[in-house]
Amino acid sequence: MEKLILKKTTRTPAVNFDPDRGIFEIKGKSIPENSTGFFGPLLEYVEKYSSHPAETTVLNVRFDFFNTSSSNRIHSLFKRFEKLYLRNSDVTIRWFCENGDENMRDAGRDFKAMLQVPFEIVEVEEL
C-alpha cells in the first residue's frame, strides 16, 4: 500500500498514514463541511490496511479542535483500529493534548471509555 498524505487546510487536519511502518498520524483542526466526505477515505484506507497490517500499529492523534460531526467519524476511525486490535494485532491509539486543555483531555477519556484497544492520553507542552 502507498502512504496516504493529506495536507492540513483551515478546516481539515493533516493526515500521514504510513502502512509500511504502521504509523498513522492525524494533526490539526477538524471542522470539515462534510465530515463523511473527509473521513470516508480514511476509514476505507484503514479497512484495506487491516488485511495486511504491520507488526505493530500506532495511531497518533493531535487535534487542536474538532466539531460534533467529526467526533462521530473519529469514533468510527478508532473502531476500525479497535477491530484490528481485537483480531490479535498490536495496536495503540495515542491521544495527544496540551497540558491544561481539559476539553481535549476529557474528549480523549470519553473515546477511551468507549473502546477496547490500548489508548494512551499523552499531555504535552505544545501540539
pLDDT in tens, 33-75: 999 999 999 999 999 999 999 999 999 999 999 999 999 999 9
The string of pLDDT tens digits covering residues 66-114 is 999 999 999 999 999 999 999 999 999 999 999 999 999 999 999 999 9
Structure confidence at residue 126 (pLDDT): 84
Question: Structural domain tally of the chain?
Answer: 1
Q: In Å, how far from its chain's centre is CA 26?
A: 6
User: Which pLDDT band holds residue 24 (cuts at 50, 70, 90)?
Assistant: very high
* Cβ atoms of residues 57 and 41 within 8 Å: no
Mean local confidence (pLDDT), 1-9: 97
Indicate whether 62 belongs to any domain. yes
Domain interval for residue 81:
21-124
Indicate whether 51 belongs to any domain. yes
- What pTM did the predictor assign? 0.95
Buried b (16+ CB within 10 A) or exposed e, 41-52: ebeebbeebbee
- 20: how many CB neighbours lie within 10 A of its CB? 9
- Say which CATH number the domain at 56 has: 3.30.750
Indicate whether 14 belongs to any domain. no
